[in-house]
């Protein structure tokens, strides 16, 4: 089957942000610009994740979804702060194809069932944010990695499937933003224990990590942020005045020549796909696609 | 006479992402209206039946909205009728999704579930693929078919990738109506059908990038040529 490459856009207010372990969010730019660019580069889907659950705030995620879904014709999953069937309907009506739920699903597992009945299983993605403890156990966290739940992620994954979720996004908070690679053990254990597709998330620092998530982690799709975002940021000069004063813009104030990406070896969507194909993983790759349009 | 815009009725039966269909219509210059009003269906130039979700619920909803006979009438009238994803399945005779449910009966044949689609890995191991199929997959002309010219797929290359999300697929009885076929694991299925004015696809052209949008452009041209 064809693996999907899914850029993940974490959004705070009007800005695209990126942190480490989901903390210390830095502003990288406007989500719309990133979304357009990834669409044109052949991304297979996009995930928008609201870092502060500002669904109904000024410059809210719903506005961004509305604007971009008219121009970007690949599946769009939207998550962050969705509490109810009505919230889900609001985001779908704005143009999302799927929604991702975590906090509200842990608080009220029946929401998964209600939502998958109302909108179809394939519309409901459950996001599992996992922290690995020293004893090797994995606990599900909610509220964008801020709150513990006491729930074992492997039991939760099976329960979520039974309740009718169509897909899982599995994020390792330990790995997230570090560029040290996905948690392959976590990804594989979940991917092999459920019959629905699993999207690996958190930790990609190179194209090789993405390959490993598929070959060793058994992921059906892979989501990544920094690897792609840093590449895009490098390619263009952005004026920091373009961004509103909210958020940490230290990153953007840095001199472009001396950007420190830590362990991240950035890449484009095409470079990721080329690497996968060279290593025997199939995916949609049509470099000529833009010429047809 | 001023050029009038092509109108599409996007059938709203409570399920599915109608908005991406509407946006793709706009992109192709088609004025899409999301509606469950049978008069609007009859007045529009083209009727689009989209949908995701459960077959039984979708048919129950179409019955409740009293849209079953009007859909059948539209199919018989020669007006272009497009089914997408679950919309394609609903055009079929029946589905075995969680039971045995009658569909619209516009295209003869059942809707069946993916039964353990399997691949053989490079190491020679058998691996069962996930169901639902959620991925981009390729469309090909079935054996014996010559061309997509004059269909909504005109101008697309063999092996074009489209976006799929489904656990069930349609099996039209008449091989002549198969417009494309697609392979998932070791299962080759009918990924789109065309019979006269009826076109339906299991994939989502409105979510399949620039080449998917071409399907909407072609629909606009075919409808304009008919008017």
- SS3 of B184-221: the string is ECCEEEEEEEEECCEEEECCCHHHCHHHHHHHHHHHHH
Minimum distance, in Å, between the CA of residue A100 and any CA atom of chain B = 15
pLDDT of residue A293: 41
A4-292: CATH superfamily:
Aldolase class I (3.20.20.70)
Token pair, residue B163, equals 């976006």
Q: What is the pLDDT of residue B23?
A: 93
Distances (CA, A) of A205 to A46, A50, A261, A273: 19, 22, 10, 15
In angstroms, rounded to a whole number, what is the distance separating the alpha carbons of residues A126 and A170?
9
CA distance B168 to B86: 9
A73: nearest CB among B132, B166, B206 = B206
What is the least distance, in Å, from the CA of A152 to any CA of chain B?
Answer: 23
Residues of A in contact with B26 (CB under 8 A): 70
CB atoms within 10 A of CB A146: 12
- Residues ≥6 apart with Cβ < 8 Å to A143: A53, A103
> Which neighbouring-strand residues pair with B86?
none
Encode chain A (293 residues) as per-residue pLDDT tens digits. Answer: 899 999 999 999 889 998 887 777 889 999 999 999 999 999 999 999 998 875 555 557 888 999 999 999 999 999 988 999 999 988 988 889 999 999 999 999 999 999 998 888 889 999 999 999 999 999 999 988 889 999 999 999 999 999 999 999 999 999 998 899 999 999 999 999 999 999 999 999 999 999 999 999 999 999 999 999 999 988 875 555 455 545 566 666 554 444 556 788 999 999 999 999 999 999 998 665 444 44
Is there a contact between B23 and A70 if contact means CB atoms under 8 Å apart?
yes
Whether A63 is catalytic is: no
- Our answer to whether residue B135 is catalytic in this structure is no
| Catalytic entry in B25, B63, B85, B201 | B85
- Please confirm, yes or no, whether B204 is among the known catalytic residues: yes
Decide if A195 and B131 are in contact by the 8 Å CB cutoff. yes
Give the Cα separation of A225 and A152 in Å (integer). Answer: 26
The domain segmentation of chain A, as residue ranges, is 4-292
Q: Which residues of B touch A283 (CB under 8 A)?
A: 136
Residue A258 pLDDT: 44
Measure CB to CB from residue A44 to each of B86, B136, B213 and give the nearest one: B136
Q: For the purposes of burial, counting CB atoms within 10 Å of the CB of B113, is it exposed (0-12), middle (13-18) or buried (19 or more)?
A: middle
Contacts 24+ apart (CB under 8 A), A208-214: A208/A275, A209/A181, A209/A182, A210/A5, A210/A272, A210/A275, A210/A276, A211/A275, A211/A276, A211/A279, A211/A281, A212/A181, A212/A182, A212/A184, A213/A182, A213/A184, A213/A187, A214/A3, A214/A276, A214/A281
pLDDT single digits (tens) B146-205 = 789 999 999 999 999 999 999 999 999 999 999 999 999 999 999 999 999 999 999 999
Mutate to test the interface with B, among A1, A38, A220, A290 (most CBs of B within 10 A): A1
Chain B hits for A44, CB-CB cut-off 8 Å, are: 135-136, 163
Residues B23, A95: C-beta atoms closer than 8 Å: yes
Domains and CATH numbers, chain B: 6-226 (3.40.50.880)
Identify the pLDDT of residue A81. Answer: 87
Confidence bin at B2 (pLDDT 50/70/90): very low
User: In chain B, whose CA is at the least distance from the CA of A165?
Assistant: B132
Interface residue ranges in chain B relative to chain A, Cβ cutoff 8 Å: 15-17, 19-20, 23-24, 26-27, 52-54, 57, 86, 119, 122, 129-137, 160-161, 163, 165-166, 184-185, 204, 206-214
pLDDT of the residue at A57: 54
Interface of A with B (CB under 8 A): 1-4, 39, 42, 44, 69-70, 73-75, 92-97, 117, 119-123, 166-167, 195-197, 220-221, 280, 283-284, 286, 289-290, 292-293
Tell me whether residues B134 and A293 touch, CB distance under 8 A.
no
* Predicted pLDDT of residue A26: 87
pLDDT of residue A256: 43
CB contact under 8 A, B161 and A286: yes
A158, A151, A219: which is closest to A185 by C-alpha?
A: A219
Instruction: Give the pLDDT score at B179.
Output: 97
What is the sign, positive or negative, of the torsion defined by CA atoms of A216, A217, A221, A222? negative
On chain A, the residues whose CB falls within 8 A of the CB of B134 are 4, 122, 166-167, 197, 220-221
């Amino acid at each position: 089957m064809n693996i999907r490459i899914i850029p993940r856009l974490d959004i705070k207010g009007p800005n695209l942000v990126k942190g480490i372990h989901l903390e210390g969010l830095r502003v990288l730019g406007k989500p719309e610009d990133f979304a357009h660019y990834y669409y044109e580069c052949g991304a297979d889907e996009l995930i928008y994740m609201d870092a502060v659950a500002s669904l109904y705030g000024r410059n809210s995620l719903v506005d961004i979804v509305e604007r971009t879904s008219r121009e970007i014709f690949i599946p769009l999953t939207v998550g962050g702060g969705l509490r109810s069937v009505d919230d889900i309907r609001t985001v779908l009506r704005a143009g999302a194809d799927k929604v991702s739920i975590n906090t509200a699903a842990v608080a009220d597992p029946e929401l998964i069932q209600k939502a998958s009945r109302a909108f179809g299983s394939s519309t409901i993605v459950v996001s599992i944010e996992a922290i690995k403890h020293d004893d090797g156990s994995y606990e599900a966290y909610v509220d964008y990695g801020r709150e513990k739940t006491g729930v074992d992620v492997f039991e939760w994954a099976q329960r979520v499937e039974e309740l009718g979720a169509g897909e899982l996004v599995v994020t390792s908070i330990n790995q997230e933003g570090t560029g040290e690679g996905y948690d392959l053990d976590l990804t594989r254990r979940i991917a092999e224990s459920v019959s629905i597709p699993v999207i690996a998330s958190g930790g990609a620092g190179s194209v090789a990590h993405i390959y490993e998530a598929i070959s060793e982690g058994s992921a059906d799709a892979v989501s990544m942020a920094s690897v792609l975002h840093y590449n895009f940021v490098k390619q263009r000069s952005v004026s920091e005045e373009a961004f509103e004063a909210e958020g940490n813009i230290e990153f953007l104030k840095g001199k472009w020549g001396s950007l420190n990406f830590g362990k991240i070896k950035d890449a484009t969507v095409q470079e990721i796909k080329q690497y996968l194909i060279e290593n025997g993983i199939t995916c949609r790759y049509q470099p000529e696609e833009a010429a047809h349009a | 006479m001023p050029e009038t815009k092509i109108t599409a009725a996007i059938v709203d039966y409570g399920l599915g992402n109608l908005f991406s269909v509407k946006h793709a219509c706009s992109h192709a210059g088609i004025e899409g209206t999301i509606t469950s009003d049978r008069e609007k269906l009859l007045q529009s130039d083209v009727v689009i039946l989209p949908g995701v979700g459960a077959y039984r619920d979708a048919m129950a909803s179409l019955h409740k909205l009293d849209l079953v006979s009007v859909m059948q009438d539209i199919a018989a009238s020669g007006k272009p009728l497009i089914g997408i994803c679950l919309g394609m399945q609903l055009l079929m005779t029946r589905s075995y999704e969680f039971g045995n449910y009658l569909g619209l009966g516009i295209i003869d044949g059942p809707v069946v579930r993916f039964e353990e689609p399997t691949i053989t890995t490079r190491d020679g191991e058998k691996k069962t693929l996930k169901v639902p199929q959620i991925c981009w997959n390729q469309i090909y002309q079935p054996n014996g078919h010559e061309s997509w010219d004059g269909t909504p797929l005109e101008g697309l290359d063999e092996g074009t990738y489209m976006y799929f999300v489904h656990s069930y697929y349609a099996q039209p009885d008449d091989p002549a109506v198969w417009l494309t076929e697609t392979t998932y694991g070791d299962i080759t299925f009918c990924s789109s059908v065309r019979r006269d004015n009826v076109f339906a696809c299991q994939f989502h052209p409105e979510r399949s990038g620039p080449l998917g949008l071409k399907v909407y452009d072609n629909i606009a041209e075919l409808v304009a040529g008919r008017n």
